[in-house]
A and B are shown apart, each in its own frame.
Chain A
Amino acid sequence: MSHAFYLDVDRCTGCFACAVACMDQNDLEIGPEPTAWRQVFKVETGAAPEARLRYVSLACMHCEDAPCIMACPTGAVARETGTRVVKVTAELCIGCHSCSMACPFGIPRFGKDGTMQKCDLCSVRLENDLEPACVRVCPTRALRQGDPNELSLTVAKKAAERLATST
């Protein structure tokens, strides 16, 4: 089974709970640099009174055909067998930032030791039937995690309800 994050953008309020839960789970030391593994963005379009505000919480997508894995010259970024999570082995990372250039989502972060770090989807928690910390904490359940097909089915169901009630 592969794992994916899903974010219902309509339910994300930009509360940052996911970002902090990730810091707590992973003992992240956050200094002056933006090294948090999960980032929340406010996206504004238009101008008052027609402005539109949306929030997006973003962390590693654990892509199936992950460009960071292809770009990594040392094998530090690799797919974990079993969970199929994209993981970093700090000992192998040479801090070349190739993954940063390859990643379409701007995910890789570099801590004090200069090696790449990022979300590992709380794979130990997954193995123990616990949700990733960011998913568990989300006050609106905007952020979800699971099998991509199952997640899509949930979204499709909601769309179906919307279609049925609007006609």
Chain B
Amino acid sequence: MDKLQRMIKGKIPGEATGIEVRKSVCTICDPSGVCGLDCYVKDGRIIKVEGSLENPNNAGTLCSKGAAQRQWVYHENRLRTPLKRVGPRGSGEMVPISWGEALDTITESLQRLKADSGPESVVFYCGYPKQPRPFLQRLALQFGSPNYCTESSVCFTAMAMGWRLDYGQMAAPDIANTKCVLVWTGNPFYSSTPNAGRLMDARDRGVKFIVVDPRMSPIASIADLHLQLRPGTDGALALAIANVIISEGLYDRQFVSEWTRGFDEFRAYAAEFGLERAEQITEVPAALIREAALLYATTKPAAMMPSSTPLVHHTNGVQNQRAAAALVGLTGNFDIRGGNVSQPFSWLEVGGAGFTTREHEFAMPRAWSDMPPRLGADRFPVWTEMINQAQAMDLPRQLNSGAPYPLRGLMAFGMNHRLWPDPNGLLAAMEKLDFICDVDLFATDTSKYADIVLPACGSVERSELRCYPQKYVVLTRPVIEPLGESRSDTDIIFGLAHRLEIDDPLLNPGAVAATGEAGGFLPNGAPDFTRGFEAALDWNLEPSGMTVAELKKHPGGMPVPNSLPVTLRKYEKKGFPTPSGKMEFASALLEKYSDRPGIDALPIYREPKLSPVATPELAQDYPFVLNTGSRLPMFIHSRTFRLPWTRSLRRDAAVDLNPADALRLGIAQGDRVELSTPAGAIHVSANLTELARPGAAHMYHDYPEADVNTLLSSDYLDPISGFPGFKASLCAVKKVAAVDAPGVDPGAAAGVTR
């Protein structure tokens, strides 16, 4: 092999090899801070990816999902054309149609439903990715429907609600300047991989780590103190820690007396959680609880690292989150350097990127009060008052009951029904809809219920705006052409706005100009609204002083010019954005709804609705705590299941069980086991690991062949947030006979060397 051939085979970029490095971002897991992506492109095709060195989030690194980008982009099951359903819902019998026909059908259907049943009868849903969210929300509201909802009905929002009920705002841990990190459930090594290096650096600096987690997770296994609590007892643990801190005089008296509401009631209530009782409830040794309380309270400054789901995926989730978050203010770590610092959102819920946008104004062109009640308005009034979205977990109920009004249409982007408890119940309820459109990269089990499926493209094929708390911003450019006839989600939204004749110059500039020159449709009828998209971005960016034209000059991103400085102790000038203007140990908002079951002003601890303590009789037949959805490093929901590279790292649907439990039940590694609840049963492989808490069954979600969420009922929800209790219910585990399961052969679906 000559030198040039060797370089081509080694994918060395340069003129000689014809390999060019183009900049994009990876949005496979789509957290708030996406990773910069270097795409090695040869002859219009990506042949390799790497993390972008200049991106401050990932600094050249990627996770296993992002590194598998190529199999994701070029997967043979990517949708290449719009599809029309020709068989029964769910059958998957679809035929390709033109963009013209697809958009005609969607427009005609939505207009008809609007005329017959009102615009509120159409639900707009945004799953992944997140970048079209403000655009879809504006479309929904301008169409006249209050029913805009997202996958944040099961992720992130309840955590934010907990913090906002306490402080009126969220506050992120200042890892770079802290001396102690309290990780309150979650394994950021897998759920926030770009932070893994920063956390390891902190540990190398001698920063103390306290990890609260039922699992011996990778971060728990390197912690100074690991509080391995019984799932769902976080509130009791937090109250016990608060009680130690208060009774031993370690709290910040000045902050508490000047800046908090309801401390005396809180103190009295926390006193009910003495160490002995706390050990009984949480199963964390009393001495360890005290040691953790002392370490967190006496190491200054200390930062609490929250996470988007584990603490709030409980039927008592928001109150547990409130109790944990309250420790920050109690110890005087709120809005200080090295503690938890509050910063306003810049764009797509990224806090502290150093600029402001008109995103809120853009996404909220109408007031909720001008529209009929949203999904979940009656059932989840706290959510409805705090969050500018409908609560999607209420979708099956309203579909089935038609109350307060019937729902007839669904316009979904990247919808995954397996993110609901009782997902099959949701699908059955969706049968009632007159019209469903789903936009996705792949034909999914959810899209099989749609009448029209539109092909979306991925991040490397589109342009999107992203920003970072390191005061960095990027407007990506497509690095390859969209595959087949696929289009970006925002092109599709602008195309729909045009077809629906939405009277809004920001979403439908053509309607104003009447020339169509601000955007339009490709010869094949597919929407191409790059200019409308960029004009809307410029409008959003106006307060920042940045423009699309300037951002385009920096395809890998740029530092935010004249970035707003980080300010601390902002409450001293402005108070807290809570009803009382103070941090609220006793929430005035929750007080308003305290006549409802499960809602109290104080962060009252309640057992999970199903637990060995709450339902001991049920626990006799279902003795394991079922804990679902903890992240595996190679998967994010079902998104990378189909990629041979990631699937090869964990081939089978498997439940993590502690070896001691398995021994007791006669279960060996790889045995087939049945997980069952009164709602149903699934069969999976047993994976024996000390990562699993004794007495708990940890099962990853989303497997079509073994969907653990089918074991939960649709009303297993937190009354405050509407979030499902994914992290604590009850199940039975037993060994079953091995069957010749239709094994996944990742190689068969390759596309590796194309």
What is the interface of chain A, defined by CB distance below 8 A to chain B?
10-11, 13-17, 19-21, 23-25, 27-32, 34, 36, 40, 42, 44, 46-49, 51-55, 122-125, 128, 130, 133, 136-142, 158, 165
Q: How far is the CB of B17 from chain A (nearest CB, A)?
A: 10
Q: How far is the CB of B31 from chain A (nearest CB, A)?
A: 13
Q: How far is the CA of A52 from the CA of B218 in the complex (A)?
A: 10
Convert B190-232 into 0s and 1s, putting 1 for each residue whose CB lies closer than 8 angstroms to a CB of A.
Answer: 1001101100100010100000000010110110000010000
Q: How far is the CA of A142 from the CA of B61 in the complex (A)?
A: 12
Residues of B in contact (CB 8 Å), total 59
Q: Are B70 and A13 in contact (CB under 8 A)?
A: no
Q: Are B51 and A140 in contact (CB under 8 A)?
A: no
Q: Are A13 and B67 in contact (CB under 8 A)?
A: no
Known contacts: A14-B218, A55-B218. The answer to whether A24 contacts B48 by CB under 8 A is yes
Q: How far is the CB of B447 from chain A (nearest CB, A)?
A: 27
Among B690, B693, B750, contact of A29 (Cβ-Cβ < 8 Å): B750
Known contacts: A47-B659, A55-B218. The answer to whether A32 contacts B747 by CB under 8 A is yes
Known contacts: A20-B646, A139-B63. The answer to whether A32 contacts B189 by CB under 8 A is no
Chain A contact residues, majority secondary structure: loop
Q: A136 — which chain B residues lie within 8 A by C-beta?
A: 50-51, 60-61
Q: Are B648 and A30 in contact (CB under 8 A)?
A: yes
Q: Are B9 and A124 in contact (CB under 8 A)?
A: yes
Q: How far is the CB of A160 from chain B (nearest CB, A)?
A: 13
In the assembled complex, B665 has its CB within 8 A of some CB on chain A? no
In the assembled complex, B32 has its CB within 8 A of some CB on chain A? no
Q: A142 — which chain B residues lie within 8 A by C-beta?
A: 200
Q: A123 — which chain B residues lie within 8 A by C-beta?
A: 10
In the assembled complex, B176 has its CB within 8 A of some CB on chain A? no
Q: How far is the CB of B283 from chain A (nearest CB, A)?
A: 10
Query: Would you list which residues of chain B between 576 and 597 have a CB under 8 Å from chain A?
Result: none
Q: Are A47 and B690 in contact (CB under 8 A)?
A: yes
Q: Are B62 and A139 in contact (CB under 8 A)?
A: yes
In the assembled complex, B694 has its CB within 8 A of some CB on chain A? yes
Q: Which 6 A-B pairs have the closest CB atoms?
A: A124-B10, A31-B747, A51-B690, A53-B221, A13-B189, A20-B67
Known contacts: A30-B644, A139-B197. The answer to whether A128 contacts B12 by CB under 8 A is yes
Q: Are A139 and B196 in contact (CB under 8 A)?
A: yes
Q: How far is the CA of A137 from the CA of B204 in the complex (A)?
A: 20
Among B9, B200, B693, contact of A48 (Cβ-Cβ < 8 Å): B693
In the assembled complex, B691 has its CB within 8 A of some CB on chain A? yes
Q: B60 — which chain A residues lie within 8 A by C-beta?
A: 136
Q: B193 — which chain A residues lie within 8 A by C-beta?
A: 15, 17, 139
Q: Are A36 and B648 in contact (CB under 8 A)?
A: yes
Known contacts: A25-B11, A122-B10, A136-B51. The answer to whether A10 contacts B689 by CB under 8 A is no
In the assembled complex, B566 has its CB within 8 A of some CB on chain A? no
In the assembled complex, B634 has its CB within 8 A of some CB on chain A? yes
Q: A28 — which chain B residues lie within 8 A by C-beta?
A: 645, 752
Q: Are A165 and B659 in contact (CB under 8 A)?
A: no
Query: Would you list which residues of chain B between 722 and 754 have a CB under 8 Å from chain A?
Result: 743, 745-747, 750, 752-753
Q: Are A20 and B216 in contact (CB under 8 A)?
A: no
Q: How far is the CA of A30 from the CA of B547 in the complex (A)?
A: 45
Q: How far is the CA of A91 from the CA of B753 in the complex (A)?
A: 20
Query: Would you list which residues of chain B between 52 and 73 have a CB under 8 Å from chain A?
Result: 58, 60-64, 66-70
Query: Would you list which residues of chain B between 639 and 670 have a CB under 8 Å from chain A?
Result: 644-646, 648-649, 651, 658-660
Q: B7 — which chain A residues lie within 8 A by C-beta?
A: 124, 128
What is the chain B residue whose CB lies nearest that of A39? B649
Q: Are B746 and A31 in contact (CB under 8 A)?
A: yes
Among A15, A53, A122, contact of B190 (Cβ-Cβ < 8 Å): A15
16 A/B residue pairs, CB under 8 Å, sorted by A: A21-B50, A24-B645, A29-B753, A31-B745, A48-B693, A51-B216, A52-B221, A55-B218, A125-B10, A128-B10, A130-B12, A137-B51, A139-B63, A140-B196, A141-B200, A158-B204
Q: How far is the CA of A8 from the CA of B11 in the complex (A)?
A: 28
Q: B189 — which chain A residues lie within 8 A by C-beta?
A: 13, 15, 139-140
Q: A122 — which chain B residues lie within 8 A by C-beta?
A: 10
Q: How far is the CA of A34 from the CA of B349 in the complex (A)?
A: 40
Q: Are B216 and A27 in contact (CB under 8 A)?
A: no
Q: B6 — which chain A residues lie within 8 A by C-beta?
A: 124
Q: Are B67 and A24 in contact (CB under 8 A)?
A: yes
Q: B743 — which chain A residues lie within 8 A by C-beta?
A: 32
Q: Are B61 and A17 in contact (CB under 8 A)?
A: yes
